[in-house]
Structure 1
Amino acid sequence: MSDFKKLVGEYKAMVEAGKYIEVIDRFYADDIVQRENSDAETRGKETLKNNEVGNLEQTKSVETKIITLVADTETGNVMGEMDIMIDNGDGTRTRLEEAFSQRWKNGQIVYQRYYWHSFQKIEK
């Protein structure tokens, strides 16, 4: 197994362990560019970290399972699908099915884009 695939495996393990802020600290390049669907780009590790902290503060818990993960060692491209379950703390859960595409350089994510349709409310 290549060093890149091991690194991507570490990324997956940390995401699935719910270490979302640690993932940003460990894997995001300082000048990362991120895009959600067709929204405007968000730039910079600190901005994305602050956004994630704010999102997590609005939930009781978040569980993420990466269902598909493909890493191309030659190009540094990574693609995958995630299933995200959010406990809203008000008796409801929200499910988000999301696909993502990333470009890695020197062991860090320099660009990522998320594709998703809508959040699904699930009654407990």
Structure 2
Amino acid sequence: MPTAETVQRFIARVEENAHTEAIAEFYTDGATMQENQSPPRRGRDTLVAHESKVMARAKSLTSECVRPVFINGDHVAIRWIFNFVWADGSTTRMEEMAWQRWEGERIAEETFFYDPAQRTPVPAKA
């Protein structure tokens, strides 16, 4: 079960846009991430590599935790809002719920729930 302080440190890293670092620091070696009902990605190294590819496509990103955060034993629920500006100037605003299962002070499983229509970038204004 994570402490509230550990969860807040994790949130702070994500809000600093240190997404890949947060995965390296707060996920178990065998952690999984799943988006909606897609097959999960497995293994911390795989998760870091995937996140690195996403971050490389972004010109800028703001990450915001919408509080409160819910902690119940080994489970944590966090509402996030991410605003991406992509290299071509298009934008994406993603609002999602993250459902996490922690093992001690590390995340072992995470599922993101969001409307997939949000993934379509809005073209840059001419």
- Say if 2:88 and 2:124, in contact at 8 Å, map to a contact too: no
1:92 Cα deviation after fit: 2.2
- Measured in 1, the distance between the counterparts of 2:83 and 2:109 equals 24
C-alpha distance in 2, partners of 1:29/1:112?
A: 11
Match of 2:6 in 1: 7
Q: Which blocks of at least 5 consecutive residues in structure 1 are unaligned?
A: none
Q: 1:114 to 1:29 in 2, by over 3 A?
A: same
Amino acid at match of 1:110: A
The question of 1:70 aligning with 2:66 is answered no
Which residue in the other structure is 1:104 paired with?
102
Pick the aligned partner of 1:87 from 85, 88, 93. Answer: 85
CA contact (8 A) 1:78 1:101 kept: yes
Find the residue that maps to 2:58 and give its secondary structure. Answer: coil
Q: How high is the TM-score relative to the length of structure 1?
A: 0.90
**Percent identity for Structure 1 against Structure 2:** 25
Matches within 5 A, 1:46-65: 46-65=45-64
- Where does the alignment leave 5 or more consecutive residues of structure 2 unmatched? none
What amino acid is the match of 2:84? I
Residue 89 of structure 1: how far off its partner (Å): 2.5
CA distance in 2 between counterparts of 1:60 and 1:10 reads 25
Cα gap change, 1:122/1:7 in structure 2, threshold over 3 Å: closer, same or farther? farther
State the partner residue of 1:30. Answer: 29
- Given residue 76 of structure 1, which amino acid in structure 2 is its aligned partner? D
Change (3 A) 1:107 1:30: same
CA contact (8 A) 2:89 2:123 kept: no
Rounded Cα–Cα distance in structure 2 between residues aligned with 1:59 and 1:15:
15
